Amino acid sequence: MSTEASTPVRQLSFRAALLGTVLAVVLSAANAYLGLFAGLTVSASIPAAVLSLGILRLFADANVLENNIVQTAASAGEAIAAGVIFTLPALVMLDYWSDFAYFQTVLIAGVGGLLGVIMTVPLRRALVDDNRLAFPEGQATAAVLKAGYGGTAAAGIGTLLAGAGIGAVAKLADSGLKIWEGVAETALSFGQQSSFYVGSYLSPALLAVGYIVGINVALPVLLGGVFAWWIAIPLVMAFGGGDIAAGVAGAEQVWSEQIRYLGVGAMLVGGLVALWTLRGQLFGALKQTGETVLPNQRDLPRSLLITLLVLLALPMIALYAVLLDSIVAGASVALLMLATAFLFSAVAAYMAGLVGSSNNPVSGVTIATILITALGLYLFFGAEQAGPASAIIVGAVVCCAAAIGGDNMQDLKAGAILGASPAAQQLAQMLGVIAAVCVLSPVLSLLLHAYGIGVSDAAHPNALPAPQASLMVAVVRGVFGGDLPWAWVIGGGVIGLATIALDSLLGRRGSGFRLPVLAVALGLYPPLSLSMAIAFGGFVAWLGGSGAAREGRGLLAAAGIITGEALMGIFIALPVAFSGSSDVLALDVGGLPAAWPGLLLMLGLGLWLGRLARSTDAGPRA
């Protein structure tokens, strides 16, 4: 159901804005704990859409575009939480902060989040309107909202609910009740020289994402993972770079300390190439921003965006000038912050179009930012005491911008399908950012004093590990201490260039299969288990009939699976946060937990989605 542009329909109403900001606060708080504890957050676009449908349908005059505004504002809460918890805890670990200072936290996170909205406005036409990118979660969100309001998608509501139920029960059984393990993995040793990791997340949501993006994205992601885990890691181990006897743990250690930096280098190269490739569309979009007439094509005015950009830059210049005791240094670092925020907001937006915002490697682009910033500070200002803190703050702004940039583009894709006003959605994103950043500081302070963050000690024996922030600390200490694995970062850049050359060759030969460099970089950076789960979904879509597999009832089923798992992930986070124990819901199954029930579930879901894809009754289309 598309809303006609000529018909005025209520979108950014008071009730939609109020509900959106309330949900942004709730979802940001829940995901702050979950991210510090598990190193991931739960995408909130689809859960927020479901919650909005349930609440706004109490009003007889509510419409689908109001619901779209609610999920747009609410999803900003989860996205900004990811940007904050991946970076700002590093300032505590570096002993630069003793607590999460309210004003500074609001300033850093707020500037980053608003920059993420502002800097992706000109990219909307180049990435969303062009229809070359799938934006799987944007499509799924639109499918959820359309199904909730009937129309051509009403017949698929049963399929949607069935998928949601399966996704929710699977998440509860895995992460909550701990009935089975969430990852099936092993390490195969060949003599005493090498070890090959084999594994997959048993996540229905990752399967559904792979199903939606299709084989042409899922396979390059898998190829990147295979190179990292089946070629690079075994070679390092063969030459004495890891503990073969440690099995999975040994392979993961090599990946964590060395191989993941290949992904960072490849992302740097891929991001620059992606921007260069889009330069014509980007400059064209910059000229047209805010100048269209139809409501469903109008962005925020260019004059407003420029004014906001200046107003956001000024306090950051002052902050960096105080940190580095130099106005020139402060202005230079702020300029670098703006440049990298734009670069990586664009990269994150592009990656969201490939694999969705849930699997967007914002921590990878943040590491790249911190590498660039820390190196520049070290070379020009030496090992100043405030150098590591300044690099982390730049990384925090960029991480928040990238997280919001990807989320914003997903929401704009959903809005484009529904016929929504981009300008209204962009304002809703800003409202969600502002609401969320106002509560994150006290939430983080509470978690810090209750559980501890980072390294466990006598006072906090079960500290929240904050894995991404810990990695940021290792990066800045490595740069200022002179022991960062630059060879791996450079090697990743070389892989990125080789991938681009191969993709160009495939394009010249007219091949239907391509190798987008950012998809390969995405496979290099995370655990292979994530790439495997996404690839499985892509193969299911391919076997089901290419593009047709990602439409109709198959799309609604995949959207339902993502919805159910995401909602249950948020609900599970609440008792875990209150109790301080990840096992608060765990059942005693007599030492039974193993991977095989999850494997059977994944196989069963693959068969179900494949059957839906091949069905002659395609059902509603997104």
pLDDT tens per residue, range 284-304: 555 555 454 555 678 888 889
pTM of the model: 0.74
Distance between CA atoms of residues 286 and 288, nearest Å: 6
- Look at residue 39 in the predicted model and tell me its pLDDT: 64
HSE, side-chain direction, 13 A CA sphere, residue 476: 30
Per-residue confidence band for 311, with pLDDT thresholds at 50, 70 and 90: very high
Instruction: Decide if 535 contacts 219 (C-beta within 8 A).
Output: yes
Distances (CA, A) of 280 to 284, 286, 501: 6, 10, 21
**What's the pLDDT at 176?**
81
Question: Between 581 and 2, whose confidence is greater?
Answer: 581
**Predicted confidence (pLDDT) per residue in 323-376, tens digit:** 888 888 889 889 988 988 888 888 788 878 876 766 566 777 787 788 888 888
Instruction: Give the SS3 label for residue 183.
Output: strand
Alpha carbon 507 to its chain centroid, in Å, reads 28
* Among the listed residues 265, 130, 221, 279, the one whose alpha carbon sits nearest the alpha carbon of residue 514: 221
Q: Is 205 helix (H, G, I), strand (E, B) or coil?
A: helix
Helices 327-355 and 517-524 pack at an angle, to 10 degrees, of 100
Rounded Cα gap, residues 437 and 400, in angstroms: 11
Kindly indicate the confidence band of residue 602, based on its pLDDT and cuts at 50, 70 and 90: very high
pLDDT digits (tens, 9 = 90+) for 65-108: 999 999 999 999 888 998 998 899 999 988 888 889 899 999 99
The predicted-structure confidence for 421-457, as pLDDT tens digits, reads as follows 899 999 999 999 999 999 999 888 888 877 788 776 6
Give the Cα separation of 252 and 387 in Å (integer): 30
* Torsion angles phi and psi, residue 542, rounded to 5: -65, -45
Quick one: pLDDT at residue 437?
94
Distances (CA, A) of 373 to 115, 142, 367, 369, 446: 18, 38, 10, 6, 30
Using CB atoms within 10 Å of the CB of residue 303, give its burial: 0 to 12 exposed, 13 to 18 middle, 19+ buried: exposed
Give the pLDDT of residue 286: 54
